[in-house]
Structure 1
Amino acid sequence: MYRTRVIEYSGKGDPARSLALLWRTSERTSRKGKPDLSVDRIVRAAIEVADSEGLQALSMRRVADRLGVGTMSLYTYVPGKPELLDVMLDTVYGETARPEEVPGGWRERLELIARENWALYLRHPWLLQVATSRPVLGPNVTAKYDYELRAVDGIGLTDVEMDSVITLVTGFVHGTARGAVEASQAESQTGMTDEQWWAAHAPFFGRIADASRFPTAARVGQAAGEALGGSYSPEHAFEFGLRRVLDGIQVLVDRRGGTT
């Protein structure tokens, strides 16, 4: 579960060891010559720990426990937690679908990319706790970036604009997904459902929500609450925001005289 805000940073490990792990240039077999332990098995177990218990629970010892082996045996394959985290990131980034043919034009291609990233964050909420300003230079991350860039290649944008468009779309998804995950975890963190929270606070809102003093907030808040069934809808925020992001990119493409 995504219980506490623990921030990890990608790229903290030894670069030579991380790259060797990411690209599997120095895969080791067990000393008995049996495939009972491998980098892939260790990484999958680590992802399972992060998915089920949160990133704060991830440690070499916890992964070893899940595999039923001694902690020190992991170091035969993985130098440490920083390198392990890099490979975890690269592994889950390999999950996004990348069809060669997408009906429609660049908007449809970007929409698919946004939805794939949205689904990825919801499957692995711990991704939102990893700062990736120093990117993981693994095969899956590289392939994902290449695929996403090809969605807007040849439509009139410069190379820098292509990179910026992908950063805009994925950044929007990252922020919206964070709100969705936090909303989904609110009940477990506070011990109250949304309905219980509103019921507890409603008597006080009547005292402070002066429509004559805050007329716009009162009007819009009521309209949004009735339309969305609450104060916040992650799904609406994603759908509405994605359309506006694509509309903004459309302006840039039109200005460049681009094509679909």
Structure 2
Amino acid sequence: MSAPEPPGGRTDGPATAPRTAPDIDPNLLWRAPDRPRRGRRPAFTREAITAAAVALADAEGLDAVTMRAVAARVGAGVMSLYSYAPDKGTLVELMVDHVSGELLPPAPLTGDWRGDLKALAHRQRAQMLRHRWLPAALTTQRTTLGPNTLAVVEHALAALRPLPLDGAAKLEVFSLLTGFVTAQVSHELSRAAATDSPAGAAAAARYLAAVAADGHHPELARALAAPGRPRTPEATFTRFLDRLVDGLDAAPAAGTAG
């Protein structure tokens, strides 16, 4: 972490602006003791604080997570929490890594890199649906790699071992996969929250039918005339994931310029 904010500069409001890399020093965040080195032993731990913040976000959303609200949940004074997380951004870092532990221990690798990668993506989707604040947390601030996240990355890299890609490319594949899952779950959640009326859906269908029939969009007309596919969120996610992962066969081998 960088130097903690001065007390006058802290706020308990939601942190929505992206964080830059110098904001958090991962050496201090992940390798330092989980409790203050001085003073008497506190009645709570960083793990308890993080779990309380996760429970609050699960129940009320990420904006509800404030230092004051989390302190109330663990029965601590607000100022005492700053020894563990000097600001909300750091607390979110802890939360992200905490829920990443749900992906562990990963299923044993089968040697089928496609199947192993797809299984990881499905677990990520289930995790994000349990913690609906997680996609926003991953896209509104730059997160570091805590111990649980590192274990997931290690598993993904091991799954990709059969691919003729160098290490940097394999890290990019993992980033691509996680970005895909995050985007799909974000879309899924926003669609679930939308209130499309039957009349609105019917109007949209009529509009597309008219556009397809106007003679100016032949490719769209052919696409709309194709047989329908299951449109449940799970089925759609699986189809998109299959196209993404299976397409990695066409990725350039290590050392190829790109």
The two structures share one fold, judged by TM-score above 0.5: yes
* Deviations 1:210-257, CA, capped at 9 Å, x for gaps: 253267656755767x644xxx5422221111111122112338x78x
Match of 1:83 among 84, 90, 106: 90
Deviates more, 1:215-224 or 1:233-242: 215-224
Matched, 1:108 2:115: yes
Higher RCO (Cα < 8 Å, 6 or more apart)? 1
* Deviations 1:124-162, CA, capped at 9 Å, x for gaps: 121211237744132222222122111112432222222
TM-superposed deviation, 1:51? 1.3
Match of 2:155 among 128, 135, 147: 147
TM-superposed deviation, 1:201? 5.0
Matched, 1:240 2:239: yes
Matched, 1:66 2:67: no
Write out aligned runs for 1:129-168 (5 A): 129-130=136-137, 131=139, 134-168=142-176
Write out aligned runs for 1:173-252 (5 A): 173-186=181-194, 192=195, 194=196, 197-200=197-200, 202=202, 206=206, 209-210=209-210, 212-213=213-214, 217=220, 220-221=223-224, 227-228=229-230, 233-252=232-251
Q: Indicate if the aligned counterparts of 2:116 and 2:159 stay in contact, CA closer than 8 A.
A: yes
Tell me the TM-score normalised to structure 2 length.
0.75
Structure 1 runs (4+) deviating above 4 angstroms are 10-14, 29-32, 203-209, 214-224
Give the residue type in structure 2 aligned to 1:240: R
Q: Indicate if the aligned counterparts of 2:96 and 2:134 stay in contact, CA closer than 8 A.
A: yes
Matched, 1:49 2:81: no
Match of 1:15 among 24, 32, 50: 24
Superposition RMSD on alpha carbons, in Å? Answer: 3.3
5+ residue gaps, structure 1: 187-191
Give the residue type in structure 2 aligned to 1:66: R
Q: Indicate if the aligned counterparts of 1:10 and 1:85 stay in contact, CA closer than 8 A.
A: no
Q: Indicate if the aligned counterparts of 2:111 and 2:159 stay in contact, CA closer than 8 A.
A: no
SS at match of 1:244: helix
What is the alpha-carbon distance in structure 1 between the residues aligned to residue 61 and residue 179 of structure 2? 22
Matched pairs, number: 237
Task: Give the structure 1 partner of residue 11 of structure 2.
Answer: none
Task: Give the structure 2 partner of residue 189 of structure 1.
Answer: none
Q: Indicate if the aligned counterparts of 2:34 and 2:45 stay in contact, CA closer than 8 A.
A: no
What is the alpha-carbon distance in structure 1 between the residues aligned to residue 241 and residue 61 of structure 2? 28
Matched, 1:25 2:33: yes
Q: Indicate if the aligned counterparts of 2:106 and 2:152 stay in contact, CA closer than 8 A.
A: no
* Deviations 1:50-83, CA, capped at 9 Å, x for gaps: 1111111111011122233332232243322122
Q: What percentage of residue pairs aligned between the two structures are identical?
A: 32
What is the alpha-carbon distance in structure 2 between the residues aligned to residue 125 and residue 160 of structure 1? 30
Q: Indicate if the aligned counterparts of 2:15 and 2:88 stay in contact, CA closer than 8 A.
A: no
